[in-house]
Copies of this chain bind each other. A is one copy, B any other.
């Protein structure tokens, strides 16, 4: 549990870079004020980031009579980061500069039933190869690839320990990916990627305690508590989707009964629709995306079945979020991922009403519920920040970002290290 001084130094370096990315240009004095670190510490860390070419000096600002202050900014072209969002229905890959601007994007659809690790890996490899080619950058400039995969992951071993929607158990995903991708790889799950994206760039920025609720095929809650990502003791916190909301209720893919996910994951929403109107034309039995999109269009058009299904779904989402509000007393709850994006404001409206009916007045009064304001894929963005964090952690092992990679090159990879 105790952190070494090296851990603390890495965390501080990351915190300073994160602040520079959020507020470029900025001065060492502003960084010290924003991070709570001493000016001397900030100056040392800024020096290291300058040496790594991750940031650059960009001029001076007056300081009310004192010496002019040197300004630094992120060196956007100092390297590239790749974020991979693996979901049950798609693979999204985005390539970012160091200011976390999207330079290129590739999407791959996954057909229903396409869930073998080898199939997933080949989609990821194709999309990673595509974004590097599109961006036209040298492979050597890619500092790392962050990979978000649903379910419970061991980020140290790179193993996907359990992905209920694919029935994956102990899949050595990072090993499989490293056979076809030559960049340093960092594995985590969409709950944590989504939470970090909101903390850095989204609705949780500057908030003390935030809950980022992912609504997709699977559902869960990324937790940003006390200004930092909360992982739990074995990096599996946030499994809100598998909390019991209806004791002895509907069977969930995890084997339990009455889980939140069984009612509000995309397959659960399809079941809500089927129970209400078995022959509904909104239902595309084998296609989650088409069904959710049809529901969204139906709500816009005032289709009573669509309105009722979204209201019923929101009742479960709202009762489940009220549980999080009562336990965690967050400042903000963010609805994210593709189902939330597709159902949008009508879902948000119903969810707010439902949370209000279930949460206690005091925590309810302290919280806001919003849709994710991140225009691109938050899980890609968050995964890319894990790669950035990883790149900073490996400073010391290698002198500059263009030096030898963490993973040795192998034949047959889509993106050799130049």
- Nearest Cβ distance between residue A150 and chain B, in whole angstroms? 13
A1 to B206, CA, bound (A): 8
Task: Decide if A323 touches B244 in the complex (CB within 8 Å).
Answer: yes
What residues on B are CB-neighbors of A239 within 8 Å? Answer: 326-327, 329, 360, 363
A228 to B236, CA, bound (A): 19
A177 at the interface (CB under 8 A from B): no
Choice from B3, B223, B233 contacting A36 with Cβ under 8 Å: B3
A367 at the interface (CB under 8 A from B): yes
How many monomers of this protein are in the complex? 2
What residues on B are CB-neighbors of A232 within 8 Å? Answer: 209, 328-330, 363, 366
Chain B residue at minimum C-beta to C-beta distance from A210 = B233
Chain B residue at minimum C-beta to C-beta distance from A263 = B247
Contacts A227-B1, A230-B226; A237 near B162 (Cβ below 8 A): no
What residues on B are CB-neighbors of A362 within 8 Å? Answer: 152, 161-162, 234, 236
A116 at the interface (CB under 8 A from B): no
Given contacts A221-B327, A232-B366, could you give 13 more A-B pairs where the C-beta distance is less than 8 Å? Answer: A1-B227, A209-B232, A209-B233, A232-B363, A234-B365, A236-B329, A236-B360, A242-B326, A242-B360, A244-B319, A245-B245, A247-B249, A256-B357
Chain A residues at the B interface, C-beta cutoff of 8 Å: 1-3, 8, 36, 152, 161-162, 206, 208-209, 221, 223, 225-228, 230-240, 242-247, 249, 254, 256, 316, 319-320, 322-324, 326-331, 357-358, 360-363, 365-367
